[in-house]
Amino acid sequence: MNSENILSPKMLKFLPWLGAMAIFMQALDATILNTSLPTIAKELGKSPLEIQSIIVAYTLTIALLIPLSGWLSDKYGTKKVFQSAILIFTLGSTLCAFATTLPFLVISRIIQAIGGSMMVPVIRLAILYAFPKSELLKVINFITIPGLIGPLLGPTIGGILVETLSWHWIFIVNIPFGIIALWMTTFALPDFKHPVFKFDIRGLILFSGGVTVLTLIMELTSSRVIGLQTVLALIVLSIFLIGLYIYHAKHKEHPLIDLKLFSIRTLRIGIIGNLITRLGIGGMPFLIPLLLQVGYGYSATVAGLIMIPSAASNIIAKSFVVPIVNKFGYRNTLIANTIILGLIICMFFFLESKSPIYYIIPLMVLNGFFSSIQFTAMNTLSLADLDENTSSEGNSLLSVTQQLSLTFGISVAALILGVFRQVGFVDGVEVQAFRYSFLTMGVMTILSTYIFFKLRESDGSSMSGKK
């Protein structure tokens, strides 16, 4: 490893602040859009239940490009790549603010996501290289706090901006942050480089192609754009591309995603658990703001304010995760918590169109609290048995899985909601389709508990401390 810059005290002082700003920008951008979807849909002449592609395009692009970000920063330097990421993210935000059609907005979000996919991984890499292990925990804790504050403020800020100014401002707010971050790179970011192997471009094409087609199937099906024959053809194509990637990865020395990592049981169960559990719970941040505005008729600002208790309980729950896992172990914690979370989601079924707002808030608090325990437990379980040789690739695989599960969760939620809006036994009241969607997602979450029954009592004990 080499660095073109000497690590000055000034760099070590301001590098964590730059990391905190990058994480805050991404966290804010990921949540500020949720309460704005109905307004954006109205102005673009679309149904608010049919524009999830704005979110899906962003999360999918980030997921597919995360493996590339680390390779680029090692080859071309953390400073150059991070500066490029900030520029692309800010450019994408500017284009989003000027969008007048849904396709233009989706393309602008993809550009924004190209920058976003490199921002956080690259700044984390720079921090890992810059600080000794004895200081890393303190620094990482510092930079992750803004990642918790972003989701707390995002929905409310989005609602206020939409009502007082226009939806375009939810993207304009990124521009000054981008300018400040770019200025800070001139004195706060060293330019670390690493020797690299040849990037697996064929693997990226095959893996990205298979996952993109799979996401496209859910998107087009939920919008009822394509027929059954086309769906089946796309499913075959997706399976074919993913199958080709598996064959390719087994015969490639340095594949995009090393399948040998799946031989680590805790990583394998944590990754699979992330994917299948979030099919039920991953769409909640997308559905709840829509329910509040489309179903109950609340304003974007009120919908944003109602989301605060959920985000706040999510933060509070993080302090409970370690004691809970230490006492009960990963197996018991994840089995019980997944069932509880599924039952909470099912409880949303009992909300009627005239239910008072104080019926909704306790459910939001409980959903936020137990979701936080779920995500933290699954993520730390995935990393529990990684060593020095597998920690980097394992962490990258977990990051990709987290983003893909977000994408699939939103797409599945939109698909389920679309189905219930079409079937005959759900009447014309908009809330009814949401109620049956929540019930379905809750049952899916409970069924996903099966994967955690495959854990042993001792799995993850190196991290939980429970033998």
pLDDT of 390: 67
List every span in the chain annotated with CATH 1.20.1250.20.
1-196, 258-466
The encoded tokens of residue 413 equal 């939620």
Backbone angles phi, psi at 162, to 5 degrees: -65, -40
| Cβ-Cβ contacts under 8 Å for 159 (sequence gap 6 or more) | 35, 36, 299, 300, 301, 302, 303, 304, 305
Residue 223 CB: number of other CB atoms within 10 A? 18
Question: pLDDT (tens digit, 9 = 90+) per residue, 215-260?
Answer: 777 766 666 656 677 778 888 888 898 889 888 888 887 787 778 8
Are the beta carbons of 116 and 62 closer than 8 angstroms?
Answer: yes
Contact 192, 77 (CB under 8 A): yes
What's residue 4's pLDDT?
Answer: 47
In angstroms and rounded to an integer, the radius of gyration of the C-alpha atoms of the chain is 22
**Residue-wise pLDDT tens digits, 399-410:** 778 777 877 888
Q: What is the pLDDT of residues 112-130, one digit of tens each?
A: 989 988 888 888 778 777 7
pLDDT at 391: 63
Q: How confident is the model at residue 467, as a pLDDT?
A: 54
Contact 190, 81 (CB under 8 A): no
The answer to whether the CB of 409 falls within 8 A of the CB of 278 is: yes
pTM of the model: 0.76
Q: Residue 462 — pLDDT band, cuts 50, 70, 90?
A: low
Specify the CATH superfamily of domain 258-466. Answer: MFS general substrate transporter like domains (1.20.1250.20)
Among 81-95, 218-232, 293-307, the least confident range: 218-232
Q: Residues 6 or more apart from 318 whose CB is under 8 A from it?
A: 148, 372, 376
CA pair distance 171, 279, nearest whole angstrom: 28
Q: What is the pLDDT of residue 91?
A: 93
- Give 133-166 pLDDT, tens digit per residue: 666 656 766 777 776 677 777 777 787 888 788 8
Q: What are 210's two structure tokens?
A: 């298979």
Q: What angle do CA 267, 269, 272 make, to 5 degrees?
A: 105
CA atoms within 13 A on the CB side of 450: 6
Determine the Cα–Cα distance for residues 99 and 114; give it in Å rounded to an integer. 18
Percent over 70 (pLDDT), the chain: 88
Q: Which fold has domain 1-196?
A: Growth Hormone; Chain: A; (1.20.1250)
Average pLDDT, the chain: 80
pLDDT of residue 20: 84
| Residues above pLDDT 90, as percent of the chain | 10
Distance CA 175, CA 17 (A): 18
The dihedral over CA atoms of 100, 103, 108, 109, expressed in degrees to the nearest 10, equals 120
User: Which CA distances in Å does 329 have to 79, 349, 457?
Assistant: 41, 31, 7
In angstroms, how far is the first alpha carbon of the chain from the final one?
38
